[in-house]
Structure 1
Amino acid sequence: MLEKDMYDSWKSRMELYMLNRQHGRMILESVEQGPFLWPTVEEDGLTRLKKYSELSAAEAIQADFDVKATNIILQGLPPEVYALERECKLYYEFDQFTYRKGETLHDFYLNVT
């Protein structure tokens, strides 16, 4: 498990590892600034996320570095921490699979199909 008192050491090691990679500064900035917020586009009155092919060159680069940064972090975590992260996602998805007060049976059916 990743111990609290080892966090600073782990953080320093991860930062150095990222900086040592090709385009390391950009990867580290991706971690420090948070995930790339995919832009939206309005099409036929509906708003949707842009496809990767629709991103500008700068946006595509930022999206790519987010993927690299996430990969580096996940590879640096002990397996039990990664398992906890996956478990949290599973619990979140399970919580979304519930009936909400005031929701019709048809609405519930549409949410789960």
Structure 2
Amino acid sequence: MTTLADKAILSGADFRPPMLEKDMYDSWKSIMELYMMNRQHGRMILESVKNGPLIWPSIEENGVTRPKKYSELSATEAIQADCDIKETNIIL
């Protein structure tokens, strides 16, 4: 029987996270959490998974309310927006 570790080695898990298999969800989840934590801003990436993506703040301009552009986000909001994208890419 092939173990998850064997499959990880064969699939090149050093460079990407393992694929999800129905019968190995618990171990896959643990590995994915560790993989995400090992990335830059890992805690923020994991927060994106657990709490959903950043709800972009709005700004009122000339009497019209619109979402802020990426360039208008605070430094923390911009990092969180980037982490949302990283989280999606890791899972996909």
The structure with the greater share of residues assigned to helix is 1
Mapped to 2, the partners of 1:18 and 1:3 lie a distance apart of 18
The code of the aligned residue for 2:75 comes to: A
Q: Radius of gyration: which is bigger?
A: 1
- Aligned residue number for residue 9 of structure 1: 27
Mapped to 2, the partners of 1:45 and 1:26 lie a distance apart of 33
Alignment of 1:1-113 (within 5 A): 2-74=20-92
Gaps of 5+ in 2: 1-18
CA positional deviation for 1:39 = 0.7
TM-score after normalising by structure 2 = 0.68
Structure 1 segments, 4+ long, off by >2 Å, are 1-7
Where 2:50 maps in the other structure, the secondary structure is helix
Q: What percent identity do the matched residue pairs reach?
A: 80
Mapped to 1, the partners of 2:21 and 2:45 lie a distance apart of 25
Mapped to 2, the partners of 1:2 and 1:31 lie a distance apart of 16
Where 2:77 maps in the other structure, the secondary structure is helix
TM-score after normalising by structure 1 = 0.57
The code of the aligned residue for 1:37 comes to: I
Where 1:21 maps in the other structure, the secondary structure is coil
Mapped to 1, the partners of 2:80 and 2:20 lie a distance apart of 28
The code of the aligned residue for 2:84 comes to: D
- Aligned residue number for residue 103 of structure 1: none
Cα deviations across residues 70-97 of structure 1 (Å, max 9, x unaligned)? 11111xxxxxxxxxxxxxxxxxxxxxxx
Where 2:89 maps in the other structure, the secondary structure is helix
